[in-house]
Amino acid sequence: MKRFVSIWFPYLKTDWFSVRQPLLRELPFVVVVPDHGRKLISAANEQAVKRSINTGMVAADAKAIYPLLQVIDDEPGLSERLLKRMAEWSIRFSPCVAVDGDDGLIIDATGCSHLWGGDKFYIEDIIARFHKHGYTVRVAIADTIGAAWAVARFNKDQSIIEPGQHFVALLSLPGAALRLDDETTDRLNKLGLRQVKDFINMPKAALRRRFLNHGDTKAQRNTKSSKPPLGGLGVRINQALGLEEEMIQPVIPVEPYQERLPCLEPIATATGIEIALQRLLESLCKRLKQEGKGIRGALFKCYRIDGKIEKISIGTIRASHHVDHLFRLFALKIGAIEPALGIELFILHATKVEDHSPLQEKIWNSEAGLHDERIAELLDRLSCKIGIDAIHRYLPDEHYWPERSVKNVLSLDETTITEWKVNRPRPLQLLERPEYIEVTAPIPDYPPMNFRYKGKLHTIKKADGPERIEQEWWIEEGQHRDYYYVEDQEGCRYWLFRLGHYDESYQWFVHGFFV
Amino acid sequence: MPALKADIITQLKKDILALQGFRPLLHKHSRIELGTINHSFPDSQFPLGVNHEFICNNNESLTASSGFIAGILSTLLKKGGAALWISSSYTIFPPALVSFGINPAQFIFIRLRNRNQILWTIEEALKCEGLTAVVGEPSFIDLAISRRLQLATEQSGVTGFLLRTKQQTLNTTACTCRWQIHPLQSETEDGLPEVGFPRLKVELLKVRSGRPGKWEIEWNNGSFNEVITKHSSAIDEHKEAV
């Protein structure tokens, strides 16, 4: 015989906000979503509900009822995310947990509650644990999903329906307790069938005639979809009574990408650590390969017998499940592990896993460019040793200011539609920061005659310019630069600029060297 | 009969080159056109898959050497491929590479301070077969280091360009070519006061199985062209007279 627990979160979203901001717990507040230029309340907390502010109202109306009401913007997809996490967390109560709508969970508790010493303790434990995390829950356990759902939401006094008693428990509940849609519920109310007991014993044929459009007949007619529509009255009655099987979709938690290797004897040598690492990598990469994934980041933990944990971690530029490559990355850091008296347990944990896109193999692999696996592997090794900050790849950026005209990109695959600007001369070597020079210039806005840089006098023979580049005021305030491309008596070519106008205070700088 | 003799002589020359340790270019390498400079190399081909050294005494000659390397890389990278530029004291401004016909996105730039790290990075990069070329600035190198780098290059076929910026003396190293490059005054057609095409004085100080030489070249229309100046033609005349 089956047993199901239905958990209902009456204040799911507001509880979540209260957990993050404990001050809110005492205040009435609502969560709103924008809807046609107004703010519609999508959730209200207990304090607000007490002041008759309910979901579906407009925030302005609610403020008229209670002016001190706090209004918080909703986060899209919040309840789905929360429920999924809670379902995964609830696997502690039963291996089979499913998300139920947007405000509840269903637990298949068949054969579980005796481990807690009975239904009562089981339910109490669930309530207490959720309460500890700051969530208000209403829980019911019954033989069918439908009955548990109905009791959790519509019967405050009872939470345990003894086996075989679910029919009796349902009788005094309203029609909506059978998970019917609004239209069906309205029609039932119109007909005066306010409680389940008013219609549950009616002949099926009579109900079918009245609820033709909402009932199971429609579902039977529509043979394409195997699932009955939610509003099907007949189906819902049968499900609540256990006459019809109801399926739930249990959540499957993601198994962490982790491998363990316990050792009989403590290991204290580098060779031993290498063998352990090799074995762990092989088994982890085998699994990753089957799933078409690759490691972007991995952590190797060594548990020492004196209780300390030694850790080394690696990162890769592209997802990889290549054992040799990953081993070489770790090998650069194995020296940092201090085994002391010995290591008794090794754990390899893939902290970041991404889809691995295998490249098509070519006979001539010379033109792969940056997409070559070997380059990605080289860069992984380099970044492990010298740090990722030292490695740069540049793409053009939409700026004229020389320092901002290139942007540093991390990924090897990134491209841009911006083109390199080549209409003006640019020096091959750019000084990181312009260096101050002394200049003699004959007349304003004319290239200088000579300049003194690092104590050496350069007489200018040829010059191009000026090219004026303005500071981008929306990024940084400052004076413009007038650039000159000059050549001295020895043929060395420089990029000089004057900062500011001639009549004001100005300075000359050298900014780069041309070929 | 003379034609037959010439054939035999060229064949013998090739055999001698092979005995001297010269390796013909691999399939993946493309020919680099440097005009008359090419005659100095064994088999008249710019040696690829080996190490080239550049003696740079100051910032200006460093930039000139970088420009010369960029000109060579433009042919190498035309068909795709990637290159690594490892530097310590200076920064390459990527937009300038575009004027040498290179897409700067094909480059990965690495900036390091520690000399040991630079040497390690250059060696690792030279071992990586996926790369086309590696430009590195090891500041100074001795025979042992140059041998290590040369071995790495020979195995992978990557071309290495090593910029020796802090070299006090010219010591013996295992490089295939040693260059020294200086900027020269550019010339415009009508003697206008503007700056003309970049002009360089290229000195090939050492080349294995080849002949060293001196040239004046100019970068224009996407390639290096030799400049015939009065000065150099005078030298030629003098040579002929001798």
- Rounded to 5 degrees, what angle do the CA atoms B89, B93, B95 make? 165
- What are the residues whose beta carbons fall under 8 Å from the beta carbon of A96, sequence distance 6 or more? A107, A108, A248, A250
Domain-embedded: residue A250? no
B109 three-class SS? strand
Q: Does A437 touch chain B (CB under 8 A)?
A: no
Q: pTM here?
A: 0.67
A329 located within any domain: yes
Q: How far apart are CA A60 and CA B194, in angstroms?
A: 71
Task: Chain B: give the shortest CA distance to residue A419, in Å.
Answer: 10
Confirm if B82 and B107 have CB atoms less than 8 A apart: yes
Domain tally, chain A: 4
Write down the mean pLDDT value for chain B.
Answer: 84
**Do A195 and A333 share a domain, yes or no?**
no
Indicate whether A32 and A127 sit together in one domain: yes
Positive or negative CA dihedral for A348, A352, A358, A362?
negative
Helix and strand tally (H, E) in chain B? 6, 9
Residue B67 lies in a domain: yes
Q: Are residues A132 and A196 in the same domain?
A: no
Chain A residues with CB inside 8 Å of B70's CB? 428, 515
In chain B, pLDDT over 90 holds for what percent of residues?
A: 22
Residue B29's pLDDT is 61
Domain assignment of residue A247, yes or no: no
Cα A172 to Cα A141, A153, A197, distances in angstroms: 17, 13, 6
**Chain B residues with beta carbon closer than 8 angstroms to that of A428:** 63, 66-67, 70, 92-93, 96-97
> Per residue of chain B (242 residues), what is the pLDDT tens digit?
678 888 998 888 888 877 877 766 665 566 787 878 888 888 788 888 889 999 988 888 889 999 999 999 988 888 778 899 998 877 889 889 998 888 888 899 998 888 899 999 999 999 988 888 999 988 778 889 999 999 999 888 889 999 988 877 778 888 889 999 999 988 887 777 788 888 999 999 988 888 899 999 988 888 888 887 655 555 555 555 54
Q: Where are any strands of DSSP class E within chain B? A: 51-55, 83-87, 107-111, 133-136, 159-164, 177-184, 199-207, 213-220, 223-226
Scan residues 347-376 of A and list those with Cβ closer than 8 Å to B: 364-370, 372-375
CATH number of the domain where residue B140 is located: 3.40.50.300
Taking an 8 Å cut-off on Cβ atoms, the answer to whether A432 and B106 are in contact is: no
- Please indicate, yes or no, if residue B2 is contained in any of the structural domains: no
CB contact under 8 A, A366 and B81: yes
3-class SS shares of chain B: helix, strand, coil, % to 5: 40, 25, 40
Interface probe, candidates A389, A488, A510, A513, chain B, greatest B C-beta count within 10 A: A513
**Which stretches of chain A drop beneath a pLDDT of 50?**
214-231
Q: Given this model, what pLDDT does residue A216 score? A: 44
Is residue B110 in a domain? yes
Contact B34, B224 (CB under 8 A): yes
Q: What is the largest CA-CA distance in chain A?
A: 110
User: Is A48:A28 a contact under the CB 8 Å cutoff?
Assistant: yes
Is A499 contained in some domain?
Answer: yes
Residues 482-501 of A with CB under 8 A from B: 485-487, 489-493
Q: A393, B109: Cβ pair inside 8 Å?
A: yes
One domain for residues A127 and A265 = no
- For residue B174, being part of any structural domain is answered with yes
Sheet with A293-304, edge to edge strand ranges: A258-267, A343-355, A293-304, A309-320
User: Among residues A95, A126, A154, which one ends one of the domains?
Assistant: A154
Pairwise CB contact (< 8 Å): B106 & A382: no
DSSP A161: P
In angstroms, the separation between the Cα of residue A512 and the nearest Cα of chain B is 9
ipTM (interface pTM): 0.85
User: What is the count of structural domains for chain B?
Assistant: 1
**A251 assigned to some structural domain:** no
Which 3 state secondary structure label does DSSP give A304? strand
Say what the pLDDT of residue A127 is: 92
- Tell me if B131 and A392 make a contact (CB, 8 A cut-off): no
Q: Is the dihedral of CA B58, B59, B61, B66 positive or negative?
A: positive
Domain of B55, in residue numbers: 25-241
Q: What pLDDT score was predicted for residue A363?
A: 58
* Structural domain of A331: 258-371
Tell me, what's the pLDDT at A229?
44
Contact B185 A512 (CB under 8 A): no
The set of residues, in sequence order, having a beta carbon less than 8 Å from that of A75 and lying 6+ positions away, is none
* Structure tokens given for A253: 């938690």
Q: Are residues A493 and A453 in the same domain?
A: yes
Helix (H, G, I), strand (E, B), or coil: what is residue A438?
strand
